[in-house]
Amino acid sequence: MPARINYTNKTFNRLTVVRDCGLKSKIHFVECLCVCGNKIKLRSNHLKDGHTKSCGCLSSEVASRIGKSCATHAMSKSRFYGVYTDLITRCENPNREGYEYYGGRGIKNEFKSFEHFKETMYESYLEHKKMYPTDTSIDRIDVNGHYSPENCRWTTAKTQRSNQRKL
């Protein structure tokens, strides 16, 4: 194994290495001080390859300069977000099991973004979940139509089975 390089007191973008944290599972970690005053621990190779440039303050500054917020929707671990990402992969990922029944036959996702999906589908999702807490899934009204606000609804597995296209 090659000798580790000592990065202490070296600066990479906005980060200065203040301490070598050693190896953890064969990965070299360092502690850095950002120009904004925050300290972070990270993989040394992320400094070398430019993957990490700051503690996160840089992206916040860039976003504020162009007038965007860095805040996310905070739903990435929710069932609702999972439904959204699943419908995208059904339509766009040829390696996904079942792709041939969706994207493979021309079914498209017409939601512009997750925010658009949430704006048009979240209220009805919550209403359906009140009645069917464990049996809520998205369904296309026209089985040959695209995923769009006009063609999607929340249903139970039983309703979905009755809405399948004939193969």
What is the reported pLDDT for 25? 87
Global pTM value: 0.58
Is 30 a member of any domain? yes
Cβ neighbours of residue 154 closer than 8 Å, sequence gap 6 or more: 121, 124, 125, 127, 128, 129, 136, 137, 138, 139
Angle, alpha carbons 89-95-99 (nearest 5°): 55
- Give the C-alpha separation, 167 to 162, whole Å: 13
Pair 83, 59 in one domain:
no
Phi, psi dihedral angles at 9 (to 5 degrees)? 75, 5
Q: Could you tell me if residue 99 is inside a domain?
A: yes
Instruction: Please tell me whether residues 98 and 130 are part of one structural domain.
Output: yes
**pLDDT per residue rounded down to tens, the chain (167 residues):** 566 788 899 999 999 999 999 998 888 999 999 998 999 999 999 988 888 898 888 877 776 676 655 556 778 889 999 999 999 999 999 989 989 999 999 999 999 999 999 999 999 999 999 999 999 999 999 999 999 999 999 999 888 888 777 66
Give the range of the structural domain holding residue 41, as residue numbers without chain letter.
Answer: 11-65
